Structure 1
Amino acid sequence: MAECIHGFDDGLCAICFPPKQPEPPEIPTRAASARATTTRGSTTRSTAPRTRGARAAAGRTAVPGRRAGELTTPIDVRALRVYHVTHIDNLAGILGAGAVLPDVGDPAATPAVDLAAPAARDFRRSAHVPGTDTAIAEYVPLLLSTNADVWDAVRSGRPDPRLTAEAVERPAAEHVVFVGSVASTLGPREAQPDAVAAGASDAAIAGDEFEVGWDAVERMLRRLARLEESAPFDRAELLVRGPVPLERFSLIAVANDRVRDRVRQALSAVGAKAKVAVYPPWFQPGGGAEA
Protein backbone atom coordinates (compact mmCIF):
# COMPACT_ATOMS: atom_id res chain seq x y z
CA MET A 1 0.00 0.00 0.00
CA ALA A 2 1.35 3.47 -0.92
CA GLU A 3 2.49 5.76 1.89
CA CYS A 4 2.55 9.55 2.04
CA ILE A 5 6.10 10.84 1.60
CA HIS A 6 5.14 14.06 3.44
CA GLY A 7 4.28 12.34 6.72
CA PHE A 8 0.49 12.67 6.64
CA ASP A 9 -1.88 9.80 7.34
CA ASP A 10 -3.01 7.77 4.34
CA GLY A 11 -5.61 9.57 2.31
CA LEU A 12 -5.05 13.01 3.90
CA CYS A 13 -2.39 14.32 1.52
CA ALA A 14 -3.73 15.91 -1.65
CA ILE A 15 -0.42 15.26 -3.47
CA CYS A 16 0.17 11.59 -2.64
CA PHE A 17 -3.54 10.77 -2.60
CA PRO A 18 -5.13 13.14 -5.15
CA PRO A 19 -8.93 13.18 -5.05
CA LYS A 20 -10.65 11.14 -7.70
CA GLN A 21 -11.84 13.31 -10.55
CA PRO A 22 -15.59 13.20 -11.18
CA GLU A 23 -16.65 11.16 -14.18
CA PRO A 24 -17.93 13.21 -17.12
CA PRO A 25 -21.69 13.10 -17.60
CA GLU A 26 -22.99 10.43 -19.94
CA ILE A 27 -23.96 11.91 -23.28
CA PRO A 28 -26.29 9.67 -25.27
CA THR A 29 -25.27 9.14 -28.90
CA ARG A 30 -27.60 9.93 -31.74
CA ALA A 31 -28.11 6.23 -32.37
CA ALA A 32 -28.97 5.57 -28.74
CA SER A 33 -31.43 8.44 -28.72
CA ALA A 34 -33.03 7.13 -31.86
CA ARG A 35 -33.45 3.65 -30.37
CA ALA A 36 -34.93 5.16 -27.22
CA THR A 37 -37.60 7.06 -29.12
CA THR A 38 -40.98 5.38 -29.36
CA THR A 39 -43.62 6.53 -31.84
CA ARG A 40 -47.25 5.98 -30.99
CA GLY A 41 -49.55 7.28 -33.65
CA SER A 42 -48.78 10.95 -34.12
CA THR A 43 -47.13 11.28 -30.68
CA THR A 44 -43.36 10.86 -30.32
CA ARG A 45 -42.06 10.29 -26.78
CA SER A 46 -38.35 10.19 -25.94
CA THR A 47 -37.34 7.55 -23.38
CA ALA A 48 -33.58 8.24 -23.53
CA PRO A 49 -32.01 7.70 -20.10
CA ARG A 50 -31.12 10.77 -18.07
CA THR A 51 -27.48 11.65 -17.70
CA ARG A 52 -25.86 11.20 -14.31
CA GLY A 53 -25.81 14.98 -13.82
CA ALA A 54 -29.50 15.25 -14.63
CA ARG A 55 -30.37 12.48 -12.17
CA ALA A 56 -28.36 14.24 -9.45
CA ALA A 57 -30.09 17.55 -10.16
CA ALA A 58 -33.49 15.89 -10.05
CA GLY A 59 -32.68 14.35 -6.67
CA ARG A 60 -31.78 17.65 -5.01
CA THR A 61 -34.37 19.52 -3.03
CA ALA A 62 -34.23 23.31 -3.11
CA VAL A 63 -33.91 24.92 0.31
CA PRO A 64 -35.73 28.27 0.59
CA GLY A 65 -33.37 31.14 1.34
CA ARG A 66 -30.18 29.23 0.51
CA ARG A 67 -27.94 30.77 -2.14
CA ALA A 68 -26.77 28.81 -5.13
CA GLY A 69 -23.44 27.08 -4.51
CA GLU A 70 -23.93 26.55 -0.79
CA LEU A 71 -23.14 23.13 0.61
CA THR A 72 -26.06 21.05 1.85
CA THR A 73 -24.12 18.14 3.37
CA PRO A 74 -23.80 18.43 7.17
CA ILE A 75 -20.24 18.80 8.41
CA ASP A 76 -18.54 17.60 11.55
CA VAL A 77 -17.35 20.86 13.08
CA ARG A 78 -15.26 19.04 15.68
CA ALA A 79 -13.21 17.45 12.89
CA LEU A 80 -12.35 20.74 11.17
CA ARG A 81 -8.60 21.31 11.00
CA VAL A 82 -7.03 24.25 12.80
CA TYR A 83 -3.54 25.72 12.43
CA HIS A 84 -1.17 27.71 14.62
CA VAL A 85 1.73 29.37 12.79
CA THR A 86 4.91 30.49 14.52
CA HIS A 87 8.53 31.20 13.66
CA ILE A 88 10.90 28.29 14.21
CA ASP A 89 12.93 30.35 16.70
CA ASN A 90 9.84 30.31 18.94
CA LEU A 91 9.77 26.53 18.97
CA ALA A 92 12.16 26.19 21.93
CA GLY A 93 9.83 28.18 24.19
CA ILE A 94 6.80 26.16 23.10
CA LEU A 95 8.57 22.85 23.64
CA GLY A 96 9.93 23.99 26.99
CA ALA A 97 6.41 24.86 28.16
CA GLY A 98 4.96 21.71 26.61
CA ALA A 99 2.18 23.77 25.11
CA VAL A 100 1.25 26.64 22.83
CA LEU A 101 0.70 29.45 25.33
CA PRO A 102 -1.63 32.45 25.20
CA ASP A 103 -0.02 35.87 25.04
CA VAL A 104 -0.57 36.77 28.71
CA GLY A 105 -0.03 35.08 32.04
CA ASP A 106 3.34 33.42 31.44
CA PRO A 107 6.72 35.03 30.66
CA ALA A 108 7.51 31.97 28.53
CA ALA A 109 4.83 33.14 26.10
CA THR A 110 7.02 36.05 24.98
CA PRO A 111 8.16 35.01 21.48
CA ALA A 112 11.79 35.16 20.38
CA VAL A 113 10.53 36.33 16.98
CA ASP A 114 7.32 38.33 17.25
CA LEU A 115 5.10 38.19 14.17
CA ALA A 116 2.34 40.40 15.59
CA ALA A 117 2.50 44.15 15.18
CA PRO A 118 2.78 45.94 18.56
CA ALA A 119 -0.56 47.73 18.10
CA ALA A 120 -2.34 44.46 17.28
CA ARG A 121 -0.80 42.70 20.28
CA ASP A 122 -1.67 45.58 22.64
CA PHE A 123 -5.26 45.59 21.41
CA ARG A 124 -5.66 41.87 22.06
CA ARG A 125 -4.29 42.30 25.57
CA SER A 126 -6.72 45.11 26.41
CA ALA A 127 -9.86 44.08 24.49
CA HIS A 128 -12.21 41.52 25.96
CA VAL A 129 -13.95 38.68 24.18
CA PRO A 130 -17.55 39.94 23.78
CA GLY A 131 -19.75 38.99 26.70
CA THR A 132 -16.86 37.97 28.97
CA ASP A 133 -14.25 39.51 31.24
CA THR A 134 -11.53 37.56 29.41
CA ALA A 135 -8.96 39.36 27.24
CA ILE A 136 -8.52 38.12 23.68
CA ALA A 137 -4.85 37.56 24.51
CA GLU A 138 -5.81 34.88 27.04
CA TYR A 139 -6.77 32.67 24.11
CA VAL A 140 -4.51 30.79 21.69
CA PRO A 141 -5.32 32.01 18.15
CA LEU A 142 -5.91 29.30 15.55
CA LEU A 143 -6.43 29.64 11.81
CA LEU A 144 -9.09 27.62 10.04
CA SER A 145 -7.36 27.48 6.66
CA THR A 146 -3.83 27.16 5.34
CA ASN A 147 -4.78 29.97 2.97
CA ALA A 148 -5.73 32.31 5.81
CA ASP A 149 -5.21 35.97 4.89
CA VAL A 150 -2.68 36.71 7.61
CA TRP A 151 -0.56 33.64 6.80
CA ASP A 152 -0.78 34.39 3.08
CA ALA A 153 0.62 37.87 3.83
CA VAL A 154 3.68 36.23 5.43
CA ARG A 155 4.13 33.81 2.52
CA SER A 156 3.84 36.48 -0.15
CA GLY A 157 5.69 39.25 1.73
CA ARG A 158 2.61 41.46 1.60
CA PRO A 159 2.40 44.23 4.25
CA ASP A 160 -0.40 43.66 6.75
CA PRO A 161 -1.30 45.95 9.68
CA ARG A 162 -1.54 42.89 11.97
CA LEU A 163 2.09 41.91 11.29
CA THR A 164 5.50 43.44 11.91
CA ALA A 165 7.52 44.52 8.88
CA GLU A 166 10.08 41.88 9.84
CA ALA A 167 7.43 39.16 9.75
CA VAL A 168 6.65 39.69 6.07
CA GLU A 169 10.32 40.09 5.18
CA ARG A 170 11.33 36.70 6.58
CA PRO A 171 11.05 33.62 4.33
CA ALA A 172 7.89 31.63 4.96
CA ALA A 173 10.07 28.50 5.16
CA GLU A 174 11.40 29.75 8.53
CA HIS A 175 8.00 29.06 10.09
CA VAL A 176 6.29 25.94 11.38
CA VAL A 177 2.60 25.10 11.42
CA PHE A 178 1.03 23.19 14.31
CA VAL A 179 -1.93 21.19 12.98
CA GLY A 180 -4.84 19.89 15.04
CA SER A 181 -8.61 19.81 14.97
CA VAL A 182 -11.28 21.87 16.66
CA ALA A 183 -12.04 18.97 19.01
CA SER A 184 -8.44 18.10 19.86
CA THR A 185 -7.36 21.65 20.67
CA LEU A 186 -10.47 22.32 22.75
CA GLY A 187 -10.16 19.03 24.62
CA PRO A 188 -12.53 18.32 27.50
CA ARG A 189 -13.33 21.99 28.12
CA GLU A 190 -16.29 22.10 25.72
CA ALA A 191 -18.81 22.67 28.52
CA GLN A 192 -16.97 25.70 29.89
CA PRO A 193 -18.85 28.82 28.73
CA ASP A 194 -15.77 30.83 27.71
CA ALA A 195 -13.39 28.02 26.69
CA VAL A 196 -13.77 28.71 22.98
CA ALA A 197 -14.69 31.64 20.79
CA ALA A 198 -14.67 32.30 17.07
CA GLY A 199 -14.84 35.24 14.72
CA ALA A 200 -15.82 35.41 11.08
CA SER A 201 -12.67 37.52 10.74
CA ASP A 202 -9.69 38.46 12.92
CA ALA A 203 -10.78 38.84 16.55
CA ALA A 204 -9.23 42.30 16.65
CA ILE A 205 -11.63 43.58 13.97
CA ALA A 206 -14.61 45.13 15.71
CA GLY A 207 -18.13 44.78 14.39
CA ASP A 208 -17.78 41.45 12.61
CA GLU A 209 -19.63 38.28 13.61
CA PHE A 210 -18.23 36.83 16.83
CA GLU A 211 -19.48 33.98 19.01
CA VAL A 212 -18.49 32.62 22.44
CA GLY A 213 -19.21 29.17 23.88
CA TRP A 214 -19.28 25.85 22.08
CA ASP A 215 -22.91 25.79 20.91
CA ALA A 216 -22.73 29.25 19.37
CA VAL A 217 -19.29 28.61 17.86
CA GLU A 218 -20.43 25.34 16.33
CA ARG A 219 -23.43 27.01 14.71
CA MET A 220 -21.28 29.81 13.30
CA LEU A 221 -18.64 27.48 11.86
CA ARG A 222 -21.37 25.34 10.33
CA ARG A 223 -22.84 28.43 8.65
CA LEU A 224 -19.43 29.52 7.38
CA ALA A 225 -18.67 26.05 6.02
CA ARG A 226 -21.80 26.17 3.86
CA LEU A 227 -20.60 29.32 2.08
CA GLU A 228 -18.49 27.43 -0.42
CA GLU A 229 -17.85 30.19 -2.94
CA SER A 230 -16.55 32.93 -0.62
CA ALA A 231 -13.83 30.88 1.18
CA PRO A 232 -14.91 32.30 4.57
CA PHE A 233 -12.41 30.22 6.55
CA ASP A 234 -9.60 32.27 4.98
CA ARG A 235 -10.67 35.15 7.24
CA ALA A 236 -12.07 33.32 10.27
CA GLU A 237 -10.26 32.72 13.54
CA LEU A 238 -10.83 30.21 16.33
CA LEU A 239 -9.78 31.13 19.87
CA VAL A 240 -9.15 28.43 22.47
CA ARG A 241 -8.61 29.41 26.09
CA GLY A 242 -4.95 28.63 26.62
CA PRO A 243 -2.68 26.90 27.05
CA VAL A 244 -3.07 24.19 24.38
CA PRO A 245 -0.81 21.18 25.20
CA LEU A 246 1.46 19.89 22.45
CA GLU A 247 -0.25 16.50 22.41
CA ARG A 248 -3.44 18.18 21.24
CA PHE A 249 -1.78 18.79 17.86
CA SER A 250 -1.54 15.86 15.45
CA LEU A 251 1.58 17.08 13.63
CA ILE A 252 3.96 19.93 12.91
CA ALA A 253 4.17 20.90 9.22
CA VAL A 254 7.38 22.37 7.79
CA ALA A 255 8.57 23.62 4.42
CA ASN A 256 11.62 21.43 3.76
CA ASP A 257 13.86 18.66 5.04
CA ARG A 258 16.33 21.07 6.68
CA VAL A 259 13.62 22.58 8.89
CA ARG A 260 12.19 19.12 9.56
CA ASP A 261 15.56 17.93 10.88
CA ARG A 262 15.89 21.01 13.08
CA VAL A 263 12.40 20.48 14.53
CA ARG A 264 13.12 16.82 15.22
CA GLN A 265 16.34 17.73 17.00
CA ALA A 266 14.47 20.25 19.16
CA LEU A 267 11.83 17.65 20.01
CA SER A 268 14.47 15.11 20.91
CA ALA A 269 16.30 17.60 23.14
CA VAL A 270 13.27 17.97 25.43
CA GLY A 271 12.09 14.38 25.12
CA ALA A 272 8.93 15.39 23.27
CA LYS A 273 7.29 13.35 20.55
CA ALA A 274 5.39 14.80 17.61
CA LYS A 275 4.88 13.89 13.98
CA VAL A 276 6.76 16.25 11.64
CA ALA A 277 5.61 16.49 8.02
CA VAL A 278 7.22 18.24 5.06
CA TYR A 279 4.54 19.95 2.98
CA PRO A 280 5.96 22.76 0.79
CA PRO A 281 2.68 24.06 -0.73
CA TRP A 282 1.56 25.51 2.59
CA PHE A 283 4.64 27.74 2.64
CA GLN A 284 4.51 29.03 -0.93
CA PRO A 285 2.85 32.27 -2.11
CA GLY A 286 -0.71 31.59 -3.14
CA GLY A 287 -0.84 28.48 -0.96
CA GLY A 288 -1.78 25.05 -2.22
CA ALA A 289 -4.26 22.25 -1.81
CA GLU A 290 -5.17 21.28 1.73
CA ALA A 291 -3.35 18.06 2.52
Structure 2
Amino acid sequence: MSGTECIHGFENQLCDSCFPKAAPAKPVTRATTSSRTKRVPGAPRASSNKLPVLADQRVYHVTHISNLENILRTGQLVAAAQIETPILDVSSPLTRELRGTASLSTGESVDRYVPFSLVPESNAWRELRDGAAEPRWSDAARTASSTDFVFLVTTIRALGDDAVLADGDAAASLTRFAADEDTKTRMLGNLRADELTDDAEVLIHGSFAFDEIQLVGVASDRARDRVKQLLDAASFATKVAVYPPWFIQ
Protein backbone atom coordinates (compact mmCIF):
# COMPACT_ATOMS: atom_id res chain seq x y z
CA MET A 1 0.00 0.00 0.00
CA SER A 2 1.38 3.36 -1.00
CA GLY A 3 1.62 6.36 1.29
CA THR A 4 -1.29 8.06 -0.48
CA GLU A 5 -3.63 5.05 -0.45
CA CYS A 6 -6.19 4.75 2.36
CA ILE A 7 -7.58 1.69 4.13
CA HIS A 8 -10.61 1.75 1.84
CA GLY A 9 -8.41 1.32 -1.23
CA PHE A 10 -8.60 4.88 -2.54
CA GLU A 11 -5.60 6.73 -3.93
CA ASN A 12 -4.64 10.36 -4.34
CA GLN A 13 -6.59 11.44 -1.27
CA LEU A 14 -9.95 10.42 -2.77
CA CYS A 15 -11.32 9.22 0.57
CA ASP A 16 -12.89 11.98 2.65
CA SER A 17 -12.69 9.81 5.78
CA CYS A 18 -8.95 9.12 5.68
CA PHE A 19 -8.04 12.42 4.05
CA PRO A 20 -10.56 14.92 5.42
CA LYS A 21 -10.60 18.23 3.64
CA ALA A 22 -9.46 21.22 5.66
CA ALA A 23 -12.21 23.53 6.81
CA PRO A 24 -12.29 26.72 4.78
CA ALA A 25 -10.67 29.65 6.51
CA LYS A 26 -13.04 32.22 7.92
CA PRO A 27 -12.94 35.43 5.94
CA VAL A 28 -11.66 38.49 7.80
CA THR A 29 -14.39 41.05 8.30
CA ARG A 30 -13.39 44.47 7.08
CA ALA A 31 -15.21 47.76 6.99
CA THR A 32 -16.97 48.42 3.71
CA THR A 33 -15.32 51.06 1.58
CA SER A 34 -16.50 52.88 -1.50
CA SER A 35 -13.68 51.31 -3.53
CA ARG A 36 -14.89 47.76 -2.92
CA THR A 37 -16.38 46.26 -6.06
CA LYS A 38 -19.40 43.98 -5.80
CA ARG A 39 -19.63 40.99 -8.11
CA VAL A 40 -22.40 41.16 -10.66
CA PRO A 41 -24.65 38.07 -10.39
CA GLY A 42 -23.78 35.58 -13.12
CA ALA A 43 -20.37 37.09 -13.81
CA PRO A 44 -17.35 34.72 -13.84
CA ARG A 45 -15.71 34.26 -10.47
CA ALA A 46 -12.01 34.45 -9.75
CA SER A 47 -10.38 31.04 -10.01
CA SER A 48 -8.90 29.34 -6.97
CA ASN A 49 -5.65 27.38 -7.04
CA LYS A 50 -7.11 25.12 -4.35
CA LEU A 51 -9.68 23.74 -6.80
CA PRO A 52 -8.69 21.02 -9.28
CA VAL A 53 -8.46 22.11 -12.87
CA LEU A 54 -11.19 21.03 -15.26
CA ALA A 55 -9.33 18.00 -16.58
CA ASP A 56 -8.74 16.58 -13.10
CA GLN A 57 -12.36 16.89 -11.99
CA ARG A 58 -13.60 13.44 -10.99
CA VAL A 59 -16.90 12.26 -12.48
CA TYR A 60 -19.20 9.40 -11.47
CA HIS A 61 -21.50 7.02 -13.31
CA VAL A 62 -23.81 4.86 -11.18
CA THR A 63 -25.17 1.56 -12.46
CA HIS A 64 -26.73 -1.55 -10.97
CA ILE A 65 -24.31 -4.42 -10.50
CA SER A 66 -26.49 -6.62 -12.72
CA ASN A 67 -25.70 -4.32 -15.66
CA LEU A 68 -21.96 -4.44 -15.05
CA GLU A 69 -21.43 -7.83 -16.70
CA ASN A 70 -22.80 -6.54 -20.02
CA ILE A 71 -20.67 -3.40 -19.74
CA LEU A 72 -17.57 -5.51 -19.23
CA ARG A 73 -18.50 -7.89 -22.03
CA THR A 74 -18.64 -5.06 -24.56
CA GLY A 75 -15.82 -3.16 -22.87
CA GLN A 76 -17.73 0.11 -22.82
CA LEU A 77 -20.50 2.15 -21.26
CA VAL A 78 -23.13 2.77 -23.92
CA ALA A 79 -25.67 5.59 -24.26
CA ALA A 80 -29.27 4.69 -23.36
CA ALA A 81 -30.47 5.10 -26.95
CA GLN A 82 -28.21 2.21 -27.97
CA ILE A 83 -29.39 -0.17 -25.24
CA GLU A 84 -32.51 -2.13 -26.15
CA THR A 85 -33.15 -3.83 -22.81
CA PRO A 86 -30.95 -3.19 -19.76
CA ILE A 87 -31.03 -6.01 -17.23
CA LEU A 88 -32.21 -3.48 -14.67
CA ASP A 89 -33.56 -0.22 -16.07
CA VAL A 90 -33.86 2.41 -13.34
CA SER A 91 -35.45 5.02 -15.65
CA SER A 92 -39.22 5.34 -16.03
CA PRO A 93 -40.85 5.56 -19.49
CA LEU A 94 -41.33 9.29 -18.83
CA THR A 95 -37.60 9.77 -18.26
CA ARG A 96 -36.78 7.79 -21.40
CA GLU A 97 -39.13 10.00 -23.39
CA LEU A 98 -37.77 13.25 -21.96
CA ARG A 99 -34.14 12.33 -22.58
CA GLY A 100 -35.04 11.02 -26.03
CA THR A 101 -36.67 14.28 -27.10
CA ALA A 102 -34.44 16.87 -25.37
CA SER A 103 -31.45 17.78 -27.50
CA LEU A 104 -28.08 19.50 -27.25
CA SER A 105 -26.85 22.23 -29.57
CA THR A 106 -25.48 19.43 -31.74
CA GLY A 107 -29.07 18.49 -32.54
CA GLU A 108 -28.65 15.03 -31.03
CA SER A 109 -30.86 13.85 -28.20
CA VAL A 110 -29.63 13.59 -24.62
CA ASP A 111 -30.15 9.81 -24.56
CA ARG A 112 -27.37 9.47 -27.15
CA TYR A 113 -24.87 10.53 -24.49
CA VAL A 114 -23.47 8.59 -21.53
CA PRO A 115 -24.08 10.68 -18.37
CA PHE A 116 -21.71 11.25 -15.45
CA SER A 117 -22.27 13.36 -12.34
CA LEU A 118 -19.76 15.82 -10.88
CA VAL A 119 -20.24 14.59 -7.31
CA PRO A 120 -20.99 11.17 -5.82
CA GLU A 121 -23.86 12.66 -3.79
CA SER A 122 -25.81 13.89 -6.81
CA ASN A 123 -29.52 14.61 -6.53
CA ALA A 124 -30.32 11.76 -8.92
CA TRP A 125 -28.34 9.24 -6.87
CA ARG A 126 -29.81 10.60 -3.62
CA GLU A 127 -33.33 10.02 -4.94
CA LEU A 128 -32.48 6.56 -6.24
CA ARG A 129 -30.71 5.52 -3.06
CA ASP A 130 -33.51 6.81 -0.83
CA GLY A 131 -36.32 4.82 -2.43
CA ALA A 132 -36.79 6.24 -5.96
CA ALA A 133 -40.24 7.66 -5.18
CA GLU A 134 -40.01 10.35 -7.87
CA PRO A 135 -41.70 9.87 -11.29
CA ARG A 136 -38.39 9.63 -13.13
CA TRP A 137 -37.63 6.22 -11.63
CA SER A 138 -38.93 2.79 -12.67
CA ASP A 139 -40.65 0.21 -10.48
CA ALA A 140 -37.45 -1.85 -10.65
CA ALA A 141 -35.51 1.09 -9.23
CA ARG A 142 -37.91 1.31 -6.28
CA THR A 143 -37.33 -2.31 -5.30
CA ALA A 144 -33.55 -2.28 -5.82
CA SER A 145 -31.18 -2.04 -2.89
CA SER A 146 -28.74 0.87 -2.95
CA THR A 147 -25.93 -1.50 -1.94
CA ASP A 148 -26.35 -3.38 -5.24
CA PHE A 149 -25.24 -0.36 -7.26
CA VAL A 150 -21.67 0.51 -8.17
CA PHE A 151 -19.88 3.79 -8.87
CA LEU A 152 -17.72 3.94 -11.98
CA VAL A 153 -15.23 6.76 -11.39
CA THR A 154 -13.04 8.57 -13.90
CA THR A 155 -12.06 12.16 -14.76
CA ILE A 156 -13.06 14.76 -17.33
CA ARG A 157 -9.54 14.36 -18.75
CA ALA A 158 -10.28 10.70 -19.49
CA LEU A 159 -13.61 11.61 -21.11
CA GLY A 160 -11.72 13.70 -23.64
CA ASP A 161 -12.23 17.05 -25.32
CA ASP A 162 -15.65 16.06 -26.70
CA ALA A 163 -17.24 15.85 -23.24
CA VAL A 164 -20.14 18.29 -22.76
CA LEU A 165 -20.89 19.90 -19.40
CA ALA A 166 -24.54 20.56 -18.45
CA ASP A 167 -25.31 22.91 -15.56
CA GLY A 168 -28.34 20.83 -14.52
CA ASP A 169 -30.47 17.88 -15.58
CA ALA A 170 -29.54 17.48 -19.23
CA ALA A 171 -33.18 16.92 -20.21
CA ALA A 172 -34.51 20.03 -18.42
CA SER A 173 -35.62 22.93 -20.60
CA LEU A 174 -33.51 25.61 -18.89
CA THR A 175 -30.27 23.63 -18.72
CA ARG A 176 -27.28 25.24 -20.42
CA PHE A 177 -24.45 23.30 -22.07
CA ALA A 178 -20.75 23.99 -22.45
CA ALA A 179 -18.66 22.20 -25.07
CA ASP A 180 -15.34 24.05 -25.41
CA GLU A 181 -12.71 24.05 -22.67
CA ASP A 182 -12.95 27.73 -21.71
CA THR A 183 -16.73 27.64 -21.41
CA LYS A 184 -16.64 24.38 -19.46
CA THR A 185 -14.04 25.79 -17.08
CA ARG A 186 -16.14 28.90 -16.42
CA MET A 187 -19.32 26.90 -15.95
CA LEU A 188 -17.63 24.45 -13.58
CA GLY A 189 -16.21 27.33 -11.53
CA ASN A 190 -19.64 28.94 -11.23
CA LEU A 191 -21.29 25.64 -10.30
CA ARG A 192 -18.74 25.07 -7.54
CA ALA A 193 -18.97 28.63 -6.23
CA ASP A 194 -22.76 28.47 -6.06
CA GLU A 195 -22.76 24.86 -4.76
CA LEU A 196 -24.91 23.74 -7.67
CA THR A 197 -22.96 20.67 -8.72
CA ASP A 198 -25.59 18.19 -7.44
CA ASP A 199 -27.71 18.31 -10.62
CA ALA A 200 -24.95 18.94 -13.17
CA GLU A 201 -24.03 16.29 -15.71
CA VAL A 202 -21.04 15.57 -17.91
CA LEU A 203 -22.00 13.88 -21.17
CA ILE A 204 -19.92 11.81 -23.56
CA HIS A 205 -21.39 10.96 -26.94
CA GLY A 206 -22.14 7.37 -27.88
CA SER A 207 -19.98 5.29 -25.60
CA PHE A 208 -17.06 5.35 -23.20
CA ALA A 209 -14.34 2.71 -22.96
CA PHE A 210 -14.39 0.87 -19.65
CA ASP A 211 -10.60 0.69 -19.51
CA GLU A 212 -10.69 4.46 -18.88
CA ILE A 213 -12.62 3.85 -15.63
CA GLN A 214 -10.11 4.38 -12.84
CA LEU A 215 -12.08 3.03 -9.89
CA VAL A 216 -15.18 1.00 -9.10
CA GLY A 217 -16.74 2.03 -5.80
CA VAL A 218 -18.86 -0.57 -3.98
CA ALA A 219 -20.79 -0.75 -0.73
CA SER A 220 -19.42 -3.91 0.88
CA ASP A 221 -16.78 -6.62 0.84
CA ARG A 222 -19.33 -8.96 -0.72
CA ALA A 223 -19.96 -6.53 -3.58
CA ARG A 224 -16.19 -6.02 -4.00
CA ASP A 225 -15.64 -9.77 -4.36
CA ARG A 226 -18.42 -10.02 -6.95
CA VAL A 227 -17.09 -7.07 -8.95
CA LYS A 228 -13.54 -8.43 -8.84
CA GLN A 229 -14.80 -11.74 -10.23
CA LEU A 230 -16.49 -9.93 -13.10
CA LEU A 231 -13.41 -7.80 -13.78
CA ASP A 232 -11.09 -10.82 -13.74
CA ALA A 233 -13.37 -12.73 -16.11
CA ALA A 234 -13.31 -9.79 -18.53
CA SER A 235 -9.53 -9.24 -18.08
CA PHE A 236 -9.83 -5.79 -16.55
CA ALA A 237 -7.48 -4.76 -13.74
CA THR A 238 -9.58 -1.82 -12.58
CA LYS A 239 -9.22 -0.94 -8.91
CA VAL A 240 -12.20 -1.75 -6.66
CA ALA A 241 -12.77 0.10 -3.38
CA VAL A 242 -15.28 -0.44 -0.60
CA TYR A 243 -16.67 2.93 0.45
CA PRO A 244 -19.97 2.62 2.40
CA PRO A 245 -20.58 6.39 2.86
CA TRP A 246 -21.56 6.68 -0.80
CA PHE A 247 -24.35 4.14 -0.29
CA ILE A 248 -25.77 5.09 3.11
CA GLN A 249 -28.83 7.30 3.42
- Compute the TM-score of the two structures, normalised by the length of structure 1: 0.74
> Once the 2 structures are TM-superposed, how far is the Cα of residue 87 of structure 1 from its aligned partner?
0.3
Superposed CA offset, 1:11-48 (max 9, x none): 3211122335679x9xxxxxxxxxxxxxxxxxxxxxxx
Deviates more, 1:235-244 or 1:71-80: 71-80
Q: CA deviation at 1:90?
A: 0.1
Equivalent of 1:248, from 205, 212, 218?
Answer: 212
1:222 is paired with a residue of what secondary structure?
helix
- Residue by residue, what CA displacement relative to the aligned partner does 1:52-109 show, whole Å, maximum 9, x if unpaired? x65x979xx9653167xx87515411111110000000001100111111122465xx
Letter in 1 for 2:169: D
Query: C-alpha distance in 2, partners of 1:18/1:283?
Result: 18
Please tell me the root mean square deviation across aligned C-alpha atoms, in Å: 2.6
Match of 2:236 in 1: 272
Look up the match of 2:60.
Answer: 83
Q: Residue 150 of structure 2: SS of its match in structure 1? A: strand
Cα distance in 2 between the residues matched to 1:275 and 1:63 = 48
C-alpha distance in structure 1 between counterparts of 2:92 and 2:107, whole Å: 24
Q: Distance in 1 between matches of 2:113 and 2:14?
A: 28
What secondary structure is seen at the aligned counterpart in 2 of 1:240?
A: strand
- Structure 1 gaps, min length 5: 26-52, 286-291
Deviation at 1:168, TM superposition (A): 3.0
Size of the aligned set, in residue pairs, is 239
CA–CA separation in structure 2 for the residues paired with 1:98 and 1:63: 52
Structure 2 CA distance for partners of 1:19 and 1:212, relative to 1, 3 Å:
closer
Picking from 177, 180, 184, the partner of 2:151 is: 177
The question of 1:17 aligning with 2:19 is answered: yes
Aligned mates of 2:132, 2:81 — CA distance in 1: 28
Identity of aligned residues (%): 34
- Check whether the contact 1:71–1:226 (CA below 8 A) recurs between aligned residues: no
Counterpart CA distance in 2 for 1:185 and 1:140 is 10
2:129 is the counterpart of 1:155 = yes
Q: Offset at 1:251?
A: 0.3
User: Residue 71 of structure 2 aligns to which amino acid in structure 1?
Assistant: I
Shift of 1:166: 2.3
**1:89-141 deviation per Cα after TM superposition (whole angstroms, max 9, x unaligned):** 0001100111111122465xx42100111121122223321x22222111101
Alignment counterpart, residue 73 of structure 1, candidates 48, 56, 66 = 48
Whether the 8 Å contact between 2:167 and 2:175 is mirrored in structure 1 is yes
Q: Distance in 2 between matches of 1:156 and 1:106?
A: 26
- Displacement of 1:210 in angstroms is 2.9
Code of the aligned partner of 2:79: P
Question: Residue 184 of structure 2: which of 202, 209, 217 is its match?
Answer: 217
* C-alpha distance in 2 between matches for 1:207 and 1:11: 35
CA-to-aligned-CA distance 1:130-171 (integer Å, 9 cap, x gap): x22222111101111111111001111141222113213311
Query: For structure 2, which runs of at least 5 residues remain unmatched after alignment?
Result: none
